[in-house]
Structure 1
Amino acid sequence: MVLNFTKIYNSIPVLPKRRDNLNKFSTYIMLTNQNNQLALQWKHQPSLQRNLKLYEEKHQEFSNLFCYQDKGIDIANFWRKVAFDESQSIADWEPSNKIQLAYEHLASYFEERCYWAAKDLCKERNANSWEEYLCIARLLVYNPIKLKEILVKYDSQSANIDTYITNTLTNHIKYSAEVNRFSRWRLLYKKSDKELIEALKVFGIIEPEISLIIFARKYFKQVYLINKIKNPTRITGKKWIAPDEKDFSKSAQCYNAEKILPTAPHEVFANFTKVTAKQIQDWMEICIKALESYPMSILPKFSLDALQLDGFEIKSELQVPEIEWEKISSTENTSEQGFLANQANSILSEQLQSMKLDERKILLLYYGFGLNQKQLADRLGMNQSTISRYLTKSTIKLLEAIARISQPQQWVKQYVRRWLESEYHAPVHSDLIQAALVSAIKKLVNEERKILQLYYGEGMDEVKIASQLDISLNEISTILTKTRNHLQEKLIQEINIWIKEYLEKWLINYYKYFTELVFKNEAKLGKNELKLEEKIFLVERYIQNQLY
């Protein structure tokens, strides 16, 4: 028994040493597989490296400590002071989220304490649990609120910070293990798709496998919830037990039944092979390894108010989509994209300059001041139908000008064919064009989707598809051609919508800039408070004087 324990304990991967202070305060532990054996390595966090170099350059006290490699404890105490800075004073050169970065530097430094606390506990406990112990410890140090609670109680007269943190982590791991608070399967169940995707990417998993794994976890969670978490025989508060073969088998059944539906992710449908219980189990294990490895993904949810009180920088996850000219161009060259954007600006400006004065005035009042058609008609003494015709005519002129640059009719056919042949398996959903194609494929009838999946997803030739589906070879060729043409038409329709959105945004920004320029000139003359009527009069005067 002793020999077996020693063998297990010695199998715990060795943690490589960190060479210098830069690494000690800017890296985190990464679990990897090398020759089918678990291994540990240090992964860099560029944002932390940049912050360390910034303080080394700008902060004399920090620079004096940083140049000595035996000053790790002193540097940790430096970041503790920064984290506890109640005044929230920020020097001109310091980042606005310096408190947040201070906690991240401390968490990085305490990674080694997490490892040794977990490993040393295995001497007196089950050595098979060291990964679980390590994850428990890391979850604690990467929670800034909990870490602050720990550091507040630290007394430098009693022990150095390394010893204090190690003892704290050891006690925390023991407590968590004894009361069964922690479970690898709970970690997998609780994390959001966004966190898991982030962790999988860092772990080295790429598309289309990421989409397959996320889809698999969806059904695993449903089965696990019913069979294990909500099982009447389970005592509330007890540790979440590991799933069994029946759970994985049922998850695989659900996965295979749902993967053919239009609601399934494109990557899942494109992968024709049925998954097995073993595949689901392997995927879930990969998820757990990824979540345990990547600290940004093991961060628990915490109160935004608490973070803000501690000076943390809160970033909204809501992003407003922007229609950019680059998204509707056929080129992939960055410099050419910039050229096209500039060309669009130039051509649209020229078109506006060439319009009649009445057309330009209507566009200005409509986009620059937000007047509706009725307000425009009343102001200009015209019928509303006339205003509508002016706006439509002007817009068509501008749309035609953009269309001469984008020329979708000339490149869409080739793009669709190339995309089907090379990127059908793993489309880039953040790319507007590829996302539009995926959306169009989901709306195809089942037979068309199936043929596309076999031809482009499985690489099956038309003869084999005809035989498998019991359809004539002629009909298969016809459906493939018809489907490709349909995708081309749908993409062109989407591009036309994007062009309209782009033009709308461009006109609003163009006239906003112009009116602000006019008002700025008036402000210089002492006219700061202007009513709407005065603003319109000033801009109209500019137009009349041909300064516009």
Structure 2
Amino acid sequence: MLSFIKLDNIPVLPKRENNLNKFSTYLVSSNSTRGLTLQWKYLPVLQRNIKLYESRHEELSQFFTQKDKIVEIVNFWRKVVLNESQLLADWEPRNKTQLACEHLASYFEEKCYWAAKNLCNGAIDSWEEYFVIARLLIYNPLKLREILAKYQNSYNANLETYVSQVLINNIKFSAEINRFSRWRLLYKKSDLELQEALKVLGIVEPEITQIIFARKYFKQVYLMNKVKNPARSTGKKWVAPDEEDFEKSVQYYNVEKTLPRTPHEVSANSTNVTAKQIKDWMEICIKALENYPKSILPKFSLEALQSEGFEARAELQTEMADVEWEGIFTTEEIRDSRDELVKKVNSVLSEKLQVMKSDHQKILLLYYGLGLNQQQLAAKLKINQSTISRYLAKSTIQLLETLAGVSQSQAWVKQYVDKWLCREYKAPVHSDLIQAALVSAVKKLASEEREILQLYYGQTKEEHKIANINIEETTRRLNKAKNHLQEKLIGEINIWIKEYLEKWLSQHYKYLVKSAIKNASKSGDEEMTLEEKVSFLERYVQN
């Protein structure tokens, strides 16, 4: 990575030596003792894509080896962007069009720099603002495609000059009516974009959720006090908020954070935030969002783009976050352990079914295998419906008891809850089914139980330092809250076990019915009526 210092108020644009760099790097800024500098940073996914085409596309490969073929390379990616319906070669990536947009955006980074510099009159603040405006346009795949589609070879200017003029016009338009404001940027961006921008900036949970929650109420106050203020003329710049706006925002935040619908990461910390903290958080948001164009390609998801109305094809992500289980399993071991558990469940359930009474087996087979309801079963088997219901309930209870013996939730739930409270209470992993259940359970606890958890695990206060509560009472409340969490988690696990059993029985018996009927008739089960199927399956169970 090469960097260059500025010679005047505007940082110097580093050179990109070859065609590969011109279509696979993007600008990042950094502050040093010598002032603001710019650097070209490689984007691995774009480098890999170029290498792929160099090895498989003979014509494009030749373009990349010749410095004077830059126009041909630009036109190649432009045609890809504008012809989304084209057939893919077997070696081409499925997100070919998206990558083509990214190659062109990388190339037009220089045009953004020069468009901003030509309009800023040497003022560094203006240059930074104009540069962000230009990049927001280039990195919007829909806008970029629109620019490319409007360009025609009949124009007197070439494509690069045309794009430069579009950027200049866009900057002039935004700057002339003062629409582009850092506070407008903060207000307009979606929660998904802000969440990912904060992650790129290095902010982590639970602060990310707290910041997004704070912005929600800041936006409400800012909209009414500043944007919708009758004193503000339409089209004028979105002015900076004042201290009163932050004071009002913090009032909403501190009141709303105690409500059940509030995100757990917010309610887990009972400490009231201050107006200064809200202000600092909003400045962090702006900083993260101003870096959004610099990070959109490698970091931002399809969901974040779509939340802004964009349409783009995202590169498939095959990596999944593995949940650490007591820190003793590798990813492969976790997978093996899970597979062994599935095999064990299949085995014990199958064995339990085999030793059930034939009447119970018959009802289960017809109920889950053919999908007959209790009323239909009663009519077909000439048995009272209450008997059918009793048989099903008894069979289900036996199977649930068998599954409960496998899961042994009573044995591990207490230890899991204790570890979760200590490790993940302030920033739970919502994608983890058990942790999500615990977050939901916390919200259903009594207010004094939630409060003690917030003080002890949210603020990590020691027992003897919790105000107005002695150690014995603190211990009692903590144990009570933990016991309730354990009970609720076990209840949720029992619901999961029941749902799992229903799905397992349905899949098991449907497969059994299909196989049995297929073996009985060469032409398939279409030749059997429902009555014939019932009669056949009754005999099948007896045998």
1:461 aligned to 2:459?
no
For structure 1, which segment, 226-235 or 533-542, has the greater mean C-alpha deviation from structure 2 after superposition?
Answer: 533-542
Look up the match of 1:188.
Answer: 186
| Distance verdict in 2 for CA 1:484–1:40, change over 3 Å | farther
Secondary structure of 2:74's counterpart equals helix
1:64 aligned to 2:62?
yes
1:139 aligned to 2:136?
yes
Look up the match of 1:77.
Answer: 75
Structure 1 gaps, min length 5:
1-6, 316-325
Amino acid paired to 2:237: K
Within-5 A mapping of 1:428-467: 428-465=429-466
Q: TM (normalized to structure 2)?
A: 0.83
2-structure distance, mates of 1:192, 1:536 = 56
| Distance verdict in 2 for CA 1:190–1:512, change over 3 Å | farther
Within-5 A mapping of 1:36-435: 48=46, 51-67=49-65, 71-85=69-83, 88-123=86-121, 126-155=123-152, 158-294=156-292, 295=296, 296=300, 299=305, 333=329, 334-335=334-335, 336-435=337-436
Contact 1:29 1:43 (8 Å CA) reproduced: yes
1-structure distance, mates of 2:351, 2:61 = 56
1-structure distance, mates of 2:363, 2:61 = 62
| Distance verdict in 2 for CA 1:512–1:100, change over 3 Å | farther
Contact 1:330 1:406 (8 Å CA) reproduced: no
Look up the match of 2:490.
Answer: 492
1-structure distance, mates of 2:327, 2:507 = 25
1-structure distance, mates of 2:369, 2:326 = 31
For structure 1, which segment, 213-222 or 186-195, has the greater mean C-alpha deviation from structure 2 after superposition?
Answer: 186-195
Look up the match of 1:322.
Answer: none
Measure how far apart 1:357 and its partner are.
4.0
CA deviations over 1:56-106 (Å, ceiling 9, x no partner): 443332333345566544322111111222753233333444333322332
2-structure distance, mates of 1:343, 1:19 = 61
Amino acid paired to 2:160: D
Measure how far apart 1:14 and its partner are.
5.5
Look up the match of 2:318.
Answer: none
Contact 2:6 2:37 (8 Å CA) reproduced: no
2-structure distance, mates of 1:73, 1:356 = 79
2-structure distance, mates of 1:454, 1:24 = 54
Measure how far apart 1:47 and its partner are.
5.3
Q: Percent of pairs identical after alignment?
A: 61
Secondary structure of 1:227's counterpart equals helix
1-structure distance, mates of 2:23, 2:512 = 49
Measure how far apart 1:30 and its partner are.
5.0
| Distance verdict in 2 for CA 1:40–1:481, change over 3 Å | farther
Amino acid paired to 1:142: Y
Contact 2:269 2:426 (8 Å CA) reproduced: yes
Provide the aligned length of Structure 1 versus Structure 2: 519
2-structure distance, mates of 1:123, 1:63 = 41
Look up the match of 2:480.
Answer: 482
1-structure distance, mates of 2:118, 2:44 = 31
Measure how far apart 1:280 and its partner are.
1.6
| Distance verdict in 2 for CA 1:240–1:508, change over 3 Å | farther
Amino acid paired to 1:129: S
Measure how far apart 1:149 and its partner are.
2.5
2-structure distance, mates of 1:282, 1:11 = 27
| Distance verdict in 2 for CA 1:300–1:426, change over 3 Å | closer
CA deviations over 1:361-383 (Å, ceiling 9, x no partner): 33333233332111122222222
For structure 1, which segment, 472-481 or 85-94, has the greater mean C-alpha deviation from structure 2 after superposition?
Answer: 85-94
Structure 2 gaps, min length 5:
316-321
Measure how far apart 1:173 and its partner are.
0.9
| Distance verdict in 2 for CA 1:408–1:328, change over 3 Å | farther
Contact 1:260 1:269 (8 Å CA) reproduced: yes
Contact 2:98 2:314 (8 Å CA) reproduced: no
Q: TM (normalized to structure 1)?
A: 0.82
| Distance verdict in 2 for CA 1:71–1:252, change over 3 Å | farther
Contact 1:519 1:535 (8 Å CA) reproduced: no
| Distance verdict in 2 for CA 1:410–1:527, change over 3 Å | closer
| Distance verdict in 2 for CA 1:506–1:95, change over 3 Å | farther
Contact 2:24 2:46 (8 Å CA) reproduced: yes
For structure 1, which segment, 126-135 or 23-32, has the greater mean C-alpha deviation from structure 2 after superposition?
Answer: 23-32
Amino acid paired to 1:138: R
Measure how far apart 1:542 and its partner are.
9.0
For structure 1, which segment, 65-74 or 220-229, has the greater mean C-alpha deviation from structure 2 after superposition?
Answer: 65-74
Amino acid paired to 1:400: E
Measure how far apart 1:216 and its partner are.
0.8
Provide the aligned C-alpha RMSD in A: 3.7
2-structure distance, mates of 1:539, 1:167 = 78
2-structure distance, mates of 1:370, 1:328 = 39
Measure how far apart 1:480 and its partner are.
1.4
Secondary structure of 2:75's counterpart equals helix
Within-5 A mapping of 1:526-537: 526-527=523-524, 533=530, 536=533
Secondary structure of 1:239's counterpart equals coil
1-structure distance, mates of 2:34, 2:353 = 66
Measure how far apart 1:434 and its partner are.
1.5
Amino acid paired to 2:200: V
2-structure distance, mates of 1:56, 1:534 = 65
| Distance verdict in 2 for CA 1:392–1:65, change over 3 Å | farther
Contact 1:8 1:128 (8 Å CA) reproduced: no
For structure 1, which segment, 132-141 or 356-365, has the greater mean C-alpha deviation from structure 2 after superposition?
Answer: 356-365
Contact 1:118 1:134 (8 Å CA) reproduced: yes
2-structure distance, mates of 1:534, 1:66 = 71
Look up the match of 1:540.
Answer: 537
Measure how far apart 1:413 and its partner are.
1.0
Contact 1:327 1:432 (8 Å CA) reproduced: no
1-structure distance, mates of 2:236, 2:498 = 58
Contact 1:9 1:127 (8 Å CA) reproduced: no
2-structure distance, mates of 1:35, 1:349 = 72
1-structure distance, mates of 2:341, 2:31 = 46
Measure how far apart 1:208 and its partner are.
0.9
Contact 1:27 1:42 (8 Å CA) reproduced: yes
